[in-house]
Amino acid sequence: MKSLIISITVLCSFFIMQLVEAEAALAPNEIKIQESSVKHGPEFGEEWSDEQKIVWNKVQKWWQLRMACDWRNMENLYHRDAILYPYFNKVPFNFPAFKKFLMSAMTFSHIYCTVYEIRIIENVAVVMFYYEIFDPFPPKRATFVLMKQGTDWKIIATMSKDE
């Protein structure tokens, strides 16, 4: 029994050390999303324009709502005519079909996401990023396209692909 307790303690300590190392290893342009907590490095964010920061905050909000399975508030992030092309579907979804899918989607608790580009051209923003869900899923590349309507940015298109 004593050796079992020691083994469990060692394994738990190893696991905690791995989590701390992973968090410390985040590059300045990475965010770690875990249980709806969003963090990203200040150096990369400080180089962005105010509009780029607003767009990135909208994408972070999407991840927070997705992790919390808050579909009602997530719907508010999308334009009603959005077209969505996730990695798992052979054809794009319109928003009503995507919403139906989201209502049955699985939850997850750990996501690591690296943003590579936020390009704003007039009232359109293109966000390119890479993310990993630490479950049985391979890493993904994704693009979100947002359009500014008045003072708000709405998601008008998304696409993701397995790495």
Ordered structural domains, the chain, with CATH:
25-162 (3.10.450.50)
Higher pLDDT, 29 or 91: 91
Q: What percent of the chain is predicted at pLDDT more than 70?
A: 64
Q: Which long-range contacts (CB under 8 A, 24 or more apart) does 41-44 make?
A: 44/115
Residue 6 has pLDDT above 60, yes or no: no
Residue 124 has pLDDT above 70, yes or no: yes
Residues in the chain: 163
3 state SS of 64 = helix
Average pLDDT of the residues of the chain: 74
Higher pLDDT, 43 or 99: 99
**Which residues have C-beta within 8 Å of that of residue 31, sequence separation ≥ 6?**
38, 39, 40, 60, 63, 112, 113, 114, 115
Predicted local confidence at residue 121, as pLDDT: 94
Predicted local confidence at residue 35, as pLDDT: 42
